Amino acid sequence: MIKVAILGSGIGKAHLDGYRRLPERFDVKFMCDLDTTRAAAATENDPKIQIVSDIAAVLSDPDIDLVDVCLPPHLHAPVVIKALEAGKNVVCEKPIGRSLAEVALMQAAIEKTGGKVFPVFQYRFGLAFSQLSALMEAGLAGKALVASAETHWNREKPYYDVAWRGTWEGESGGALLGHAIHSHDILSNILGPVAQVAAFTDTRVNDIEVEDCAAVSLRMESGALVTSSVTLGAAPDTSRLKLCFEGLTAESGSNPYAPAEGIWHFTARGATKQEDVDRVLAEVAAPYAGFAGFLDAIADALSDNGGKEVTFEDGRRSIELVTAIYTSAREGRLVQLPIGKEEALYSGWSPA
């Protein structure tokens, strides 16, 4: 049984719902938030969960194994490092850090303490991605040709009434760092690593500091070509993914926040036969989806049965991709990965 403290009760409430779906694996002991009324409401006044407001008190409790950081982005790195130094394993919401330099500090703390950090990318978990993995493992997909992603969501003024959002200081980035990061993680996980990036970004929807629209092109190391269209000015909210392989095309529905759970179409082409695709699809059992799937994989990893968990390296790569996209958009050039310390935005991209 893994004993958990959740820090931050906004998205932390959805994490709690995920832990509650796995009662044989996780026991949530604390919900910590400066706003204790909000924290209590998030737990539905569950008497087994202590409501506290002091992060240090939670970190010093020897009973806690896993600290789940659901705080605003500027607090991620400092709190993750403190949790590691207190001997805890850590779940950290996206974005794990505000620059590659900050991520390197987290990496150093991981190496020093031997703790584990699991960045949150829960969109990866669900039936459709298990099916796509099974098709790829069965050799039916073949070479990846192209893919496209749409993160077309809607965010209006009330969303930005939360002080940290929409600002370089508090949010550290816009739709690329906070929203499309999920679909970019999925594409990187399936088709990556990314080799080259060309991008445009702009603020066209809301009166905010950070970007809310983007057009991104990626060339993967495999040669696959990927395009990503991002806006926070769409109606209604939709996420779409389409991946064209030599042997089949995989096309998502439009479920914005759980793309793996919508209706997908897997259509054979070339030498692949549809009946073989359908046979593989029929054999895939529905896994836990979303946060429950993400957390189930962490419990496996912490009991030496890993392989499906989101790794710290996945989180680092997500920040490297954002760094490359901002570099390309600002400097108007094609950017090659990996991003080294010599790149201007390695230590941060907030305008002075």
Ligand X SMILES: NC(=O)c1ccc[n+]([C@@H]2O[C@H](COP(=O)([O-])OP(=O)(O)OC[C@H]3O[C@@H](n4cnc5c(N)ncnc54)[C@H](O)[C@@H]3O)[C@@H](O)[C@H]2O)c1
Site of interaction with ligand X (CB under 6 A) = 7-11, 32-35, 38, 55, 70-73, 75, 93-94, 120, 122, 162, 178
Q: How far is the CB of 53 from ligand X (least distance, A)?
A: 6
DSSP 8-state code for residue 285 = P
Distance, CA of 343 to CA of 322 (rounded, Å): 13
Q: Which residue is nearest to ligand X (CB)?
A: 10
Measured CA distances, 278 to 47, 145, 209, 240, 270 (Å): 47, 21, 47, 22, 15
Q: How far is the CB of 96 from ligand X (least distance, A)?
A: 9
| Beta carbons within 8 Å of 114's beta carbon, 6+ residues apart | none
Nearer to ligand X, 167 or 217 (CB): 167
Nearer to ligand X, 58 or 220 (CB): 58
Query: Among all chains, which residue has been given the structure tokens 């690593």?
Result: 193
DSSP 8-state code for residue 160 = G
Q: How far is the CB of 106 from ligand X (least distance, A)?
A: 14
Instruction: Please list the residues that pair with 241 across neighbouring strands.
Output: 149
Nearer to ligand X, 115 or 259 (CB): 259
Nearer to ligand X, 89 or 318 (CB): 318
Q: How far is the CB of 232 from ligand X (least distance, A)?
A: 13
Nearest C-alpha neighbor of 218 from the set 148, 159, 318, 272:
148
Nearer to ligand X, 2 or 71 (CB): 71
Measured CA distances, 281 to 128, 153, 252, 297 (Å): 9, 30, 14, 21
Please give, one letter per residue, the 3-state secondary structure of 18-76: HHHCCCCCEEEEEEECCCHHHHHHHCCCCCCCEEECCHHHHHCCCCCCEEEECCCHHHH
Nearer to ligand X, 186 or 224 (CB): 186
Nearer to ligand X, 169 or 221 (CB): 169
Q: Cis (ω within 30 of 0) for the bond into 287?
A: no
Q: How far is the CB of 219 from ligand X (least distance, A)?
A: 27
Q: How far is the CB of 75 from ligand X (least distance, A)?
A: 6
- Helices then strands, counting H and E runs in the chain, come out as 11, 14
Nearer to ligand X, 34 or 108 (CB): 34
Nearer to ligand X, 96 or 205 (CB): 96
Q: How far is the CB of 88 from ligand X (least distance, A)?
A: 16
Q: Which helix (H) or strand (E) holds 272?
A: none
Query: Nearest 5°: phi and psi at 154?
Result: -125, 125
Distance, CA of 41 to CA of 19 (rounded, Å): 17
Q: How far is the CB of 151 from ligand X (least distance, A)?
A: 12
Contact 326, 349 (CB under 8 A): yes
Q: How far is the CB of 120 from ligand X (least distance, A)?
A: 5
